[in-house]
Amino acid sequence: MNLHQSILEYRKGRYGWWALLLILAAIVLFASHSDFQPPNGGTWQGYVLGSIGLALIVWLTALGIVKRRYGKSNVQAWTSAHVYLGASLLIVVSLHSALQIGLNVHSLAYVLMCVVIFSGFIGLYFYRRYPHLMARNRRNQSQRQLFSELNDLNQKGRALAKRCHPNLASAVDTAIDRTAIGGGFLDQLLGRDGSTVVLIEEDKKGGVQRKPVSNRDQQAIIDYVAKCIPRARKQGEAENIQSLLEVVCRRQTLSRQLRQDIKFDARLKVWLWVHVPFTIALLAALAIHILSVFYYW
């Protein structure tokens, strides 16, 4: 059973039904307010709903610890419950507060909770989508294996290029040295390719011109190597360049795979940079909310 594809369907959506029952119970409890006591967090119904919300928040934050201690089936159960009960928390706490929003710590806790819940929805989408894309992109290889193969190709490419014209060898060296995989945060997140290459061309007077150009997706070096095949003069040089062309084409495929893999991994992690810090902030605001309520009670 695949965690990323089955958490919503786990045990035929058992925790979805639990969440629905919890929401219905919260609505019934909220509707029990009398005409003499308008709904708010200070009624006994409000305290009950608030206590339920607190228990849910504390329990939901435990998932990060629990999933590292138990087996896969337990992780699936906890994650499924986390998603459904986390969604129901939005209704429970909204009824607890009766949507009385103001410029105070109580409303801050509510807003932080909303950010955490909706970032959780985004995380659910990411974890249902990207692991599948990563597995398909890697083609049964790990990221380490892909990098290892790329390094082997770099060595093979340099060795083949040395048997060819010096201009071609120099271009291949710069293409390898200036291949950009990963890079800064935005480069990883967007899968941008900042690779460059220095191409060497001879002018009509026999001089040499070095032209640094973009080597996005390794296309510039592939085109350059391909153009060198009919220009080969020495015996066996055309065969070496043909072999070199196969190497640079394979490097292109690997570079694409690695860039995609890094992009997917970055997108899986980036939502945690919102979800986790806001969860910690929520717990802090919640503690202040509870202490202030009991202080003025």
Q: How many CA atoms lie within 13 A of 277 on its CB side?
A: 5
Task: Count, in order, helices (H) and strands (E) of the chain.
Answer: 12, 2
Reported as a pLDDT band with limits 50, 70 and 90, residue 66 is: low
pLDDT in tens, 205-216: 666 788 899 999
Write the DSSP symbol of residue 1: -
Tally of CB atoms within 10 A around 207: 8
Confidence of residue 1 (pLDDT cuts 50, 70, 90): very low
Contact 224, 144 (CB under 8 A): no
What residue ranges in the chain does DSSP mark as E strands? 196-202, 208-214
The single-letter code of the amino acid at 250 is R
**Dist CA 65 CA 103 (whole Å):** 33
Tell me the pLDDT tens digit for each residue of 136-148: 999 989 999 999 9
CA atoms within 13 A on the CB side of 214: 5
pLDDT band for 89, please (50, 70, 90 cuts): very high
Which tens digits make up the pLDDT trace of 229-241? 988 877 788 999 9
Q: Find all residues with CB under 8 Å of 88, minimum gap 6, and list them.
A: 19, 20, 22, 23, 26, 56
The reported pTM is 0.76
Is the pLDDT confidence value at 296 over 70?
no
- At 229-279, the pLDDT tens digits run 988 877 788 999 999 999 999 999 999 999 999 999 999 888 888 888 999
Rg (CA), the chain: 29
